[in-house]
Amino acid sequence: MSTRGITPRAPLVKAGTRVLVTGGTGFIGSHLVDALIEHGVRPRVLVRPTSDIARLARDQVDKVELATGGLEDRRSLTQAVSQVDTVFHLAAVTKAHTEEEYLRANAEGTQRLVQAMRAAQPRPRRLIYLSSLAAAGPARDGRPVEPRDEPHPITAYGRSKLVGEQACFAASDAFEVVMLRAPVVYGPREKDFFLLFRLAARGVLPLPAGPESVVQLVHVTDLVQAMLRAATMPEARGLYHVAESRPYGWSEIATCISRAVGRSVHMVRIPRFLVQMAATVSEGGAAAIGRTTIFNREKVKELLAPGWLCETTLAKQELGFEAQVPLATGCVETAAWYRQQTWL
């Protein structure tokens, strides 16, 4: 396998390329839409009737094409994939009450999208599926997970994303399929990881007691570059892990965040059974008022896993991708954005 040289920017997506983005109003999707526009592409964005399109309507009304519908609606999917060259599938549910809800959105929704792409005339040429390291499962014995390893997801979310991967892989006879697994993604506009910044700004960060977990992360701008490369590298096919290559312990992550917010932070070690109890209470409280919360029992399973490590060599070799934003730099940039938005 030949190694391609690494360049600081992804190959340009050709202006005028017909692109569909699902999940384009979300955290990662909005950054992808911005990048496509910068490359001279007017992306078609699949949006639900209930989606918040205020930013698109205000800042990008003439630069995007809105396609109203959802992954559960076969008719709208058929229209959305019509006359499209490349599909970026980012839409996903990351918090839900039951495994059935995850499967309905992340697995069955992906299956319906693939079916619509198969039926399209002409068919889209390439499908880029944004998956998650949760589909692979945590590292075993400290060894980074490789794309070819047998998956062992430990959460309902991870299992649903794995079924989505399988649906995409099964369609590789019909169009070019590239799947990207990402670990924790952070950066401007992110709302869940933001909770750590908010706590740090108040001078305290709770961390699980016991052996420290190690994780890899990826800044959203790096992830977008990987998606652009996945769309444009002629020989890209199959599954890739996309992350900053070096891992971080949670105490080091806490230090980066505390420096970014400009505060001395007290790290409080919480016994693991109390973390699990707190997640149960948080989940129950959210359910009682008809909501979901990111701090739930499923998320705690991921938090308490010994490590989330992935081998990124294949992405470097075949996509020419290597993360450019180290965590310390990314945290400073992210904190600055939160301040600009008065979140901090």
Give the whole-angstrom CA distance, residue 314 versus residue 317. 5
pLDDT surpasses 80 at 36? yes
Region of residue 177 (phi > 0: left; psi between -120 and 50: alpha; otherwise: beta) = beta
Contact (Cβ atoms closer than 8 angstroms) between residue 225 and residue 187: no
The pLDDT score that the predictor gives to residue 11 is 54
For residue 133, CA distances in Å to 21, 110, 157, 194 come to: 21, 17, 10, 20
- State the CB neighbour count (10 A cutoff) for residue 62: 7
Predicted TM-score of the model (pTM) = 0.93
The pLDDT score that the predictor gives to residue 295 is 82
Domain boundaries, the chain: 19-183+216-243+309-323
pLDDT surpasses 90 at 7? no
Q: H or E stretch including 266?
A: strand 266-270
Q: In Å, how far from its chain's centre is CA 114? A: 19
Buried/exposed 226-260: b ≥16 CB within 10 Å, e otherwise: bbbbbbbbeebeebbbbbbeebbebeebbbbbbbb
pLDDT by residue (tens digit) across 51-73? 777 777 677 778 999 999 999 99
The pLDDT score that the predictor gives to residue 286 is 83
Average confidence score pLDDT of the chain: 92
The pLDDT score that the predictor gives to residue 193 is 93
Contact (Cβ atoms closer than 8 angstroms) between residue 193 and residue 339: no
Give the whole-angstrom CA distance, residue 92 versus residue 162. 12
* Bridge partner residues of 239 (DSSP): 179
User: Please, where are the H alpha helices in 138-249?
Assistant: 156-170, 194-201, 220-232
The pLDDT score that the predictor gives to residue 334 is 98
Q: H or E stretch including 217?
A: strand 217-219
Superfamily of the domain at 19-183+216-243+309-323: NAD(P)-binding Rossmann-like Domain (3.40.50.720)
